[in-house]
Structure 1
Amino acid sequence: MDVKRFIVYGAGAVGGSLGAFLHRAGHEVVLIARGPHLDAIRDRGLRVVTGAGAAMETIPAVSGPDQLVGAAGDVVLLAVKSMNTEAALRDLTVAVDRATPIVCLQNGVANEPAALRMFSNVYGVCVMFPTTHLEPGVVEARAWPVPAILDIGRYPAGVDDTAEAVAAAFRSAGCHAEPRADIMRWKYHKLLMNLGNAVDALVRPTDDVTEILDRARIEGMKVLTAAGISFVTAVEDGARRGDVLRVGVRRSVSSSWQSLARGTGSIETDYLNGEIVLLGRRHGVPTPVNERIQHFAEVVAREGRPPGSVPLSELVAALG
């Protein structure tokens, strides 16, 4: 496929950073953002902070797909939180052809099947991208000189010319990217790692939550095994990551942490821990730890509590 334009739906931490790097590499990019973030991008550009310093990027930005005219060669990079995926896809159906490639640049594993209901060409990306978005008009890529590992494959499986072309574009933007026919095996391993996102967001970084994370991930592995879902091993994942992503002295925080920090009132735990809960219910595997993390995180987000505001003892008591 000859990619003519990247439409980045969700110009936050991951989408905004990648959109900026693709733009710098000479690709045509349009960002879809909203609210004060969109206003800041339009008024003064997107401020991109990296290990090489800060720079302003002037990138076209709109508030929705209805302001775009779809064309051959478009590729949509879907980078919204999972709870916003269905609404984003419905918006896209009125603006772009149903054969337009939809690349799910998201955590979780529910986005790809949702996209496949509406679009015929869907791709998953295993996102390893330490990046933050905490204020309007600003994104920060925490790893440098390689900002991300973004392996891609067709959903549910396979590699084609589009996957090859998008991977090449990601590489041109300074990221590591490989086409993978088994991309969902990698995304399911990433799901297991993301089961700790809510815990990271809730308690202080100095608290030892190793036992909680182990319990959540052991539940997750039991559920995936019972469901017959294959996932890569920690050894495979470690070999892929190696020392590619070199993060600075400041701690890298999860997307869930950032949601609490921005006071959005929502958190994507339903599509991380909640995915394990869903599969556990389908296959008769108890998932009490993930279920309680899911519910606890929802309450904290709804109440507008900031990250790190939950005493470890309170979380432990909630988990039982």
Structure 2
Amino acid sequence: MADQLHFCIHGAGGLGTVVGAFLARAGHRVTLIARKPHVDAVNANGVRLEGVRANFIQKNNISAVTMPDEVQGEIDYYILLTKAKGTDQALADAQVLVDRTKTAVTLQNGIGKEPKVQAVFGKDKVIGGSIMEGAVLAEPGYVRNHMAVPVTAYFGEIGGGQSDRTRTIAQALDAAGLGTHSVDDIEQVLWEKLVQVSGASGWSASTLSAIPELDFWAGIQVREGAEHYVTIASELLGIYHAMGYRAQNFFAPVSRLKEIETVGYQQSVEDFIALGERMSQKGHPVRTSMHDDLVAGRKMEVEEMFGPLVRKAEELNVKIPTFLGVYRLLSTLNHHLPREPRRNEQGAGH
């Protein structure tokens, strides 16, 4: 193994704990900042992880605290993974770590989150990053890693290019078993993920949440459901194309934006129907986090995820009538959903 690094993961819910457990298993030192029940369980018994990549219990090299001021020692990489609604409070609390942190990165959903991290840690300390991994905190100390892709994360310098620090974190995650690349244009990765996740999240939350038992595959195998999804994805691809990008399927095979670009609307509908039928038969249900939040009655990340796309479409004069309807519908529901107590948001994950 390369030199041991210290990772501090702030907002260690399902995703943060999965990332931390793999890094700790690879020999790196990991400090999770999470909610107290999870902290107590991790410190007492380690992390129990079950999932598509591996099943193990990790006790060595990993510890947990409830607040940043409890973190010990120098930090090589501070990783912010709270829900977007908890960002401001989390970063206010994290100010005590700035002088001890070499590099900071946010792996939250959305676009434009890096300036908030830069405002606290300084522009020179912050890099860009993006991740896609299915993870659920089933109970304190126990996480399920239910979805994985060959390349789950990307890192790059904000403004373009790679560096020793983007390559080092990418190599650490990759060697730990989480496929990761350092890239020249992290901005494109961030926008393509936003297009992909916003299409899936907006479609599933607005289409399926009235029946709590439904998952993504149950909805997409219905012809009208597949048509609705492809319509939304095509509109969002229109924004992406107007920005000068073409789909790369960074998070393949979950990402299928390139296929929608190349085979056209009708064939894409047929392909998604077939995919939904195949995946339902395999018995691996999948739901977006926004869908889960709505079913659970929690505030959704509607503005954080959809707002940048709506504004970019207006700026570039791209018509997105279907997605705009989804945005308005979910914004209306979001207005009436309760906001969790601020203190609890610090430990929230993806």
1:281 CA drift (Å):
4.2
List runs of 5+ in structure 2 lacking aligned partners.
Answer: 209-213, 256-278, 339-350
Counterpart among 306, 314, 319 of residue 273 in structure 1: 306
Q: How does 1:107-186 map to 2 (within 5 A)?
A: 107-118=109-120, 119-120=122-123, 121-143=125-147, 149-186=152-189
Aligned match for 1:259, one of 293, 307, 310:
293
Structure 1 residues 66 and 288: CA distance shift in structure 2, 3 A: farther
Say yes or no: does 1:241 pair with 2:252: yes
RMSD: 3.2
Q: In 2, Cα distance between the equivalents of 1:148 and 1:252? A: 19
Q: What SS does structure 1 have at the residue aligned with 2:50? A: strand
Q: Comparing both chains, which one has the higher relative contact order based on Cα–Cα distances under 8 Å and sequence gaps of 6 or more?
A: 2
Q: Is the 8 A contact 1:33 1:63 kept in 2?
A: yes
User: Any idea what the Cα deviations from partners look like across 1:60-103, whole Å, max 9, x if unmatched?
Assistant: 111121222452x5211111222322332222223222863112
Q: Does structure 2 retain, via aligned residues, the 8 Å contact 1:70–1:95?
A: no
Letter in 1 for 2:249: D
Task: For 2:12 and 2:287, locate their aligned partners in 1 and report how far apart those are by CA, in whole Å.
Answer: 18
Percent of aligned positions that are identical = 27
CA deviations on 1:87-124 (whole Å, 9 max, x unpaired) are: 32222223222863112222222222322333322222
CA distance in 1, matches of 2:293, 2:100: 31
Which secondary structure does the structure 1 equivalent of 2:21 belong to? helix
SS at match of 1:60: strand
Cα 1:176–1:192 change in 2 (3 A) is: same
Q: What does residue 198 of structure 1 align with? A: 202
Letter in 1 for 2:22: F
- Counterparts of 2:133 and 2:53 in 1: how far apart (Å)? 16
TM-score by length of 1: 0.79
**Deviation string for 1:2-21 (max 9, x for gaps)?**
76310011112221101000
Q: Aligned pair count? A: 295
- Which stretch shifts more, 272-281 or 171-180? 272-281
- Return 250-259 or 162-171, whichever deviates more: 250-259
Check conservation: 1:129, 1:147, Cα contact below 8 A.
no
Match of 1:95 in 2: 97
Give 1 or 2: higher helix fraction.
2
User: What residue number does 1:189 align with?
Assistant: 192
Is the partner of 2:57 in helix, strand or coil? strand
Distance 1:267 1:215 in 2: 22
Q: Which runs of 5+ in 1 are unaligned?
A: 306-320
Q: Which residue of 2 aligns with 1:64?
A: 67
Task: With the length of structure 2 as denominator, give the TM-score of the two structures.
Answer: 0.73
The question of whether the paired residues in 1 share the 8 Å contact of 2:31 and 2:63 is answered with yes
Tell me: CA distance 1:193–1:25, structure 2 relative to 1, closer, same or farther (3 Å).
Answer: same
Residue in structure 1 matched with residue 229 of structure 2 by the alignment:
213
Structure-2 separation of matches of 1:147 and 1:218:
25
